[in-house]
């Protein structure tokens, strides 16, 4: 059955790429698709870090309101921006195949983090990246960096930072892979829950829409990010906490690693990991909860 589908999307270049990607896939399957561009609070508030103004959920609230009042049928999100608990009446209907989940080092003059002199300024507004960078190089200055991807690159090019850390997935999707000087090994910079994956949110009870989105879903990615997001949910549900969680599949088993650090305390990480045979979302979430318990046992808050 052919559907008429409206996609709610932020108007940043990366968000529009993601929405256009989904539109192309749905159009190929015979659906009529249009975009509803929106500006979110997260796009408007650029003078404070996300952790101080409400977290990454600020990037999705307006899109969710458009779903709730019927202006849009689906919202396409970078899954790492989606809060762990969705509003009543909304659901995650599809998780798509993942791009590179790792973090990328971008710098005009330094090929890697190791090359930076002591006291050099590195830009990021992610608490996760802050604690991981401090664990790697406690001698550096970590300064806030807000704005969409193009804005962050412009601030780097203006000389405000010696280097910045960005998601490799966003740079690759926008054809900016040439800006990447180094991709961090995930052991050194453990990715955020859901990083590199796109999620599609809809109103609950839209059976025909769920069916239309099913061909876009990637079950291995969905199981991995379900485990990762379960760690965050068990640790308090905020996607602004200094927490990393990343799952990789090894045959029929899912291996999940997590790390937590105190952004105000010593540059030491609490780490935990676990492994299980996972074929359902419930099993993935149980693995995530077990790894979160390991973090708490190690002193994470």
Active-site residue numbers? Answer: 81
**Euclidean distance between CA atoms 299 and 301, whole angstroms:** 6
Rounded to 5 degrees, what are φ and ψ at 232?
A: -60, -45
Q: CA-CA distances (angstroms) from residue 285 to 24, 186, 224, 232?
A: 31, 21, 9, 11
> Quick one: three-class SS letters along 19-82?
HHHHHHHHHHCCCEEEEEEECCHHHHCCCCCHHHHCCHHHHCHHHHHHHHCCCCCEEEEEHHHC
Q: Is 128 helix (H, G, I), strand (E, B) or coil?
A: helix
Beta strands 269-277; 198-203: pairing state: unpaired
Residue 270 is encoded by which pair of tokens? 């609490």
Q: Is 114 helix (H, G, I), strand (E, B) or coil?
A: helix
For the chain, the straight-line distance linking the first and the last C-alpha, in angstroms and rounded, comes to 48
Residue 146 is encoded by which pair of tokens? 């807000």
């Amino acid at each position: 059955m052919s559907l008429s589908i409206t996609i709610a999307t932020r108007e940043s270049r990366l968000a529009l790429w993601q929405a256009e990607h989904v539109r192309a896939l749905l159009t190929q399957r015979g659906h009529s698709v249009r975009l509803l561009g929106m500006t979110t609070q997260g796009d408007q508030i650029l003078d404070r870090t996300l952790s101080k103004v409400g977290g990454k959920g600020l990037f999705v609230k307006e899109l969710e309101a458009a779903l709730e009042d019927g202006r849009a049928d689906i919202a396409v999100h970078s899954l790492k921006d989606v809060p762990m608990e969705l509003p009543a009446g909304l659901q995650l209907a599809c998780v798509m195949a993942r791009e590179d989940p790792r973090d990328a080092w971008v710098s005009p003059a330094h090929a890697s983090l190791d090359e930076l002199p002591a006291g050099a300024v590195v830009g990021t507004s992610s608490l996760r990246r802050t604690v991981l960078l401090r664990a790697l190089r406690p001698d550096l200055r970590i300064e806030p960096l807000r704005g969409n991807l193009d804005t962050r690159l412009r601030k780097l090019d203006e000389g405000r930072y010696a280097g910045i850390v960005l998601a490799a997935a966003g740079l690759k999707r926008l054809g900016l892979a040439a800006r990447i000087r180094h991709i961090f090994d995930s052991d050194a910079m453990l990715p955020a829950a859901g990083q590199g994956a796109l999620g599609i949110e809809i109103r609950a009870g839209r059976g025909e829409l769920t069916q239309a989105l099913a061909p876009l879903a990637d079950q291995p990615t969905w199981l991995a990010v379900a485990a990762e997001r379960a760690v965050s949910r068990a640790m308090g549900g905020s996607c602004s906490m200094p927490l990393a969680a990343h799952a990789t599949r090894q045959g029929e088993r899912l291996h999940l690693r997590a790390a937590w650090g105190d952004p105000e305390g010593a540059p030491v990480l609490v780490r935990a990991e676990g492994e299980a045979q996972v074929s359902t979302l419930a099993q993935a979430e149980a693995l995530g909860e077990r790894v979160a318990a390991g973090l708490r046992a190690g002193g994470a808050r």
